[in-house]
Amino acid sequence: MIASLLDSAGLNVAVAESLTGGMVASALAEAPGSSNWFRGGVVAYASDVKHELLTVPPGPVVNAQAAAAMADGVRRLLRADVAVALTGAAGPDGQDGQPPGTVFLALSDGVETHVEHRYIDCDDPAEVCAEAVAEALRLLHRHLHAGAAARRS
């Protein structure tokens, strides 16, 4: 569904990931026709990569501001129409004062950057990451669907 929405809108997408380590990029790349609309991704697992490459401001990297900067940064870096970013603490330990299961998702479309916070109550880091991927894809789908609806009206 994301693929058809991107195709019909003539848009492309990029991703910046931390805790999910490239899982969102992989999910997008597996879709048929992804070479038409998937610009690529940046796995910025280390904090200094977030700061230096994606222009995340100095300080903690598990928060809404970091997620927004990641989305904006990867959108500009890869010249994408839309970008999704994720940062968080999958576990087993927390990070930057955030408990395990904390996820911040951001979507940037060049007009605005929207950030959402999720807490995934699970002790398994792999399950936290899988749910974070699903949340990121839902966020992208909602944004694209709303744009498609706006174009129809």
| CATH superfamily ID and name for 2-147 | CinA-like (3.90.950.20)
Using CA atoms, how far apart are residues 91 and 84, in angstroms rounded to an integer?
Answer: 22
- Any bridge partners for residue 103, and if so which? 88, 118
Q: How far apart are CA 76 and CA 35, in angstroms?
A: 19
User: How much is the pTM?
Assistant: 0.97
Residue pLDDT tens, the chain, 153 long: 999 999 999 999 999 999 999 999 999 999 999 999 999 999 999 999 999 999 999 999 999 999 999 999 999 999 999 999 999 999 999 999 999 999 999 999 999 999 999 999 999 999 999 999 999 999 999 999 999 778 776
Alpha-carbon separation of residue 8 from 2, 87, 117, 122 (angstroms):
10, 29, 29, 37
Which residue ranges make up each domain of the chain?
A: 2-147
Nearest to 58 by CA among 48, 68, 67: 48
Dump the DSSP string for 50-109: HHHHS-PPSS-SSSHHHHHHHHHHHHHHTT-SEEEEEEEE-SSS-BTTBPTTEEEEEEE-
Place of tokens 């330990």: 93
How many C-beta atoms surround the C-beta of residue 125 within 10 A?
16
User: What local confidence, expressed as pLDDT, does residue 30 receive?
Assistant: 97
- pLDDT score of 3: 96
In whole angstroms, give the CA distance from residue 134 to residue 111: 24
Helix, strand or coil, per DSSP, at residue 123:
coil
Cα–Cα nearest to 74, from 29, 100, 38, 104: 38
